[in-house]
Amino acid sequence: MRIPILMPQLGESIAEATLLRLDVAEGDWVTADQDIMEVETQKATMGVTIPCSGQVVALDCAIGTSYPVGTVLGFLLVTEAEALRAGMSAPDPAAPPEALPEPEDDTAGLHFRVEPGTSPLSGTVGVQPTLSTGLPVPVNATGAHYISPRLRARMQEMGLNAADLSAVAGSGAGGRVTVEDFEAFMRELEQHRTTPASPMRIAVADSMRRSWTRPLATVGIRVHLDPLLAHRKQQPPHLKAGPALYALRALAIALAENTAMAGRLIGKRIVHPKAIDLGFAVEVDDGVLVPVIRNVETKHLALLVDVYNDLVERARARKLPPDARGPGIATITNYGTFGIQWATPIPLPEQNLVLGLGAGEKTPVWDEATNTFLPRTQADLTLSFDHRVLDGGGAGRLLARVAALMSTPAEL
């Protein structure tokens, strides 16, 4: 029997993946759980395995093309016994063979279309990444504040969204951006140098666009790092945690004491998290990945060092395991590694908190006991938050608690 080779669901909220490498050809024999291709999602690069042993009898996919989850990439010829072993029901021998339906020409204006119950091998439409590029902003531009259905359809056809028209000055009534304005704008783009945006860059851009639809605010506090640095110096090499991991553990303890601060406002209710799952930002080529450590509030700092270091390396290799790719409730970002002292990072759309750690520096601090200034290593700690869930006072108390825990590292 023939079974389809499908683009699998590679993670929560992943709708498509780009084919990077194909390891089989038509006519090849494969075994169960064998890697047959490598794909790239918005969050990672990973291999795709075959569900059961058999012969590849058809392939209809191209390297560099994006395919929606569930797209038929080819077919595998297997025995009925092998299909049953893999959990697939064999067809009724008495039933006539099911013919593959012809694709209908009713997908005009859509990026892709997958009919439930049908998987035509021919006619599969790949999803191409949207290009993103910096543009000169006219001095008198007010941006597109109203988009007509006709213009919106044209934008869909071109793979653009409303944010891409922010630099277009409309010539229509009331400053409306007309289709003619749009076409002139697109012609002007041809005069500029452009480069393709990677799937990760597009994902980051879309994530930040969705995050910015909320009222966000940032508060900051200075944290004394000398106790933390002294504690770190006393640890054996394999247990030396970086300042960001101290901050992550401190935030986990603080949020476990009051989970409402990490809750999400849904309608008229604050939904509390079930566990303190925290992410941390890792810079990778052309973007940022946020690996997640689960149940941080239950793990002592010494138990987190190996997990943290391993996830940093996996993130840089774009090989995060599935349990580290799901959403967390807050994120830690150590922008101090770039020499930045203060910043206002933006929480992810599914989170309402991001804790930022700035660069440490020696500063003179007045000491009441000795009645003199003493040199101390300090850094700015910032907390960006969704103002619908937290007010300045609550955010300030949470940040002060994190700073206090970081100043007593033995408790972490």
- Other CB atoms within 10 Å distance of the CB of residue 159: 14
The one-letter amino acid code at 284 reads V
The one-letter amino acid code at 37 reads M
CATH number, span 215-411: 3.30.559.10
Distances (CA, A) of 168 to 161, 196, 197: 13, 21, 21
DSSP code of residue 185: H
Evaluated on CA atoms 402, 406, 409, 412, the torsion sign reads positive
Q: Where in the chain is the domain with CATH 2.40.50.100?
A: 2-85
Pairing type for strands 54-59 and 29-30 reads antiparallel
Cα maximum dimension of the chain: 96
pLDDT tens digits for range 80-134: 887 777 666 544 444 444 444 444 444 333 333 334 444 434 444 444 443 333 3
Evaluated on CA atoms 67, 70, 72, 73, the torsion sign reads positive
SS3 376: strand
CATH 3.90.650.10 fits 2-85, yes or no: no
pLDDT, block means (10 residues), the chain with 412 residues:
81 73 89 84 74 87 85 87 68 46 40 39 41 32 57 78 72 75 83 81 80 89 92 89 94 93 86 92 85 93 93 89 86 92 90 92 89 92 92 93 93 87
Distances (CA, A) of 393 to 156, 219, 385: 43, 10, 12
Q: Cα(384)–Cα(397) distance, rounded to whole angstroms?
A: 13
SS3 409: helix
Q: Where in the chain is the domain with CATH 3.30.559.10?
A: 215-411
Residue 132: per-residue pLDDT:
33
| Cβ atoms of residues 143 and 165 within 8 Å | yes
What the block records as the tokens of 298 is 């239950």
Distances (CA, A) of 100 to 2, 4, 103: 12, 12, 9
Pairing type for strands 292-293 and 278-280 reads antiparallel
Nearest CA to 120 out of 152, 65, 74 is that of: 74
Nearest CA to 216 out of 357, 353, 122 is that of: 353
Q: Which residue's structure tokens are 């049953």? A: 84
Residue 11: per-residue pLDDT:
62
| Cβ atoms of residues 69 and 9 within 8 Å | yes
Distances (CA, A) of 163 to 50, 206, 266, 342: 40, 10, 25, 27
Residue 393: per-residue pLDDT:
92
Nearest CA to 77 out of 62, 59, 60 is that of: 59
pLDDT tens digits for range 18-52: 888 888 888 899 888 788 888 887 667 777 887 78
| Cβ atoms of residues 138 and 169 within 8 Å | yes
Phi/psi for 47 (5° steps) reads -90, 155
Counting every residue written for the chain, the total comes to 412
Inter-helix orientation angle 243-257/226-233, to 10°:
110
Residue 66: per-residue pLDDT:
84
